[in-house]
Amino acid sequence: MPQKKYHVDLTADERCELERLLKSGKHNSRKMTRVRILLLADAGKSDAEIVVALLTARPTVERTRQRFVEQGLGCLDEKLRQGARPRLTDKQQAHLVAVACTDAPEGRARWTLQLLADKAVELKFVDSIARETVRQMLKKTNLNRGFGNNGVSEV
């Protein structure tokens, strides 16, 4: 078996800090798994033994070793993850909501999510868009064009 490229050698202070984290218990589970990986790796356990002991995956163990060597105990904290950028700008969303509030197309009783997605493509807002994206966008607006009494008095 090839030699490990990243060896975990904890100092006494680092080991105490990791053991303190284990005992305090108010941390997310992924952080606690990384703490346990480092303690087991420092104790001389192989990746395979750590995987079995912690019921985790080998790449998790390997990445944790590498990040520890490169960053020290900073490897315990999660990096912020960037979400995908919105498919529609605020202006485009407002325009699509306005379209949803208009009368339905000819031959339809109401706008469907797929019709609205097709309209967004027709208006060249995007090349393609899923109806689920349209649903999530409309859900955020609390748009409800219910058929019952929606607060408007009929005089």
| Residue 71 and residue 108 in one domain | no
- Dihedral, CA atoms, 147, 148, 152, 154, nearest 10 degrees? 100
Q: How far apart are CA 67 and CA 77, in angstroms?
A: 10
Give the pTM.
Answer: 0.56
| Residue 96 and residue 68 in one domain | no
Q: What is the pLDDT along the chain (155 residues), one digit of tens a residue?
A: 556 778 899 999 999 999 999 998 788 899 999 999 999 999 999 999 999 999 999 999 999 999 999 999 988 988 888 888 888 889 999 999 999 999 999 999 999 999 999 999 999 999 999 999 999 988 887 766 555 555 555 54
| Residue 23 and residue 68 in one domain | yes
| Residue 125 and residue 101 in one domain | yes
Number of domains within the chain: 2
Q: Could you tell me if residue 150 is inside a domain?
A: no
Q: Could you tell me if residue 82 is inside a domain?
A: no
Can you give the residue range of the structural domain that contains 137? 90-141
Which own/partner contact pairs does 62-69 have at CB distance under 8 Å and 24+ positions apart? Answer: 62/6, 64/34, 64/37, 64/38, 65/4, 65/6, 65/7, 65/8, 65/37, 65/41, 66/5, 66/6, 68/6, 68/8, 68/38, 69/6, 69/7, 69/8
Q: Could you tell me if residue 27 is inside a domain?
A: yes
Q: Could you tell me if residue 135 is inside a domain?
A: yes
Take residue 79 and report the two structure tokens written for it: 């990096």
Q: Could you tell me if residue 155 is inside a domain?
A: no
Q: How far apart are CA 57 and CA 59, in angstroms?
A: 6
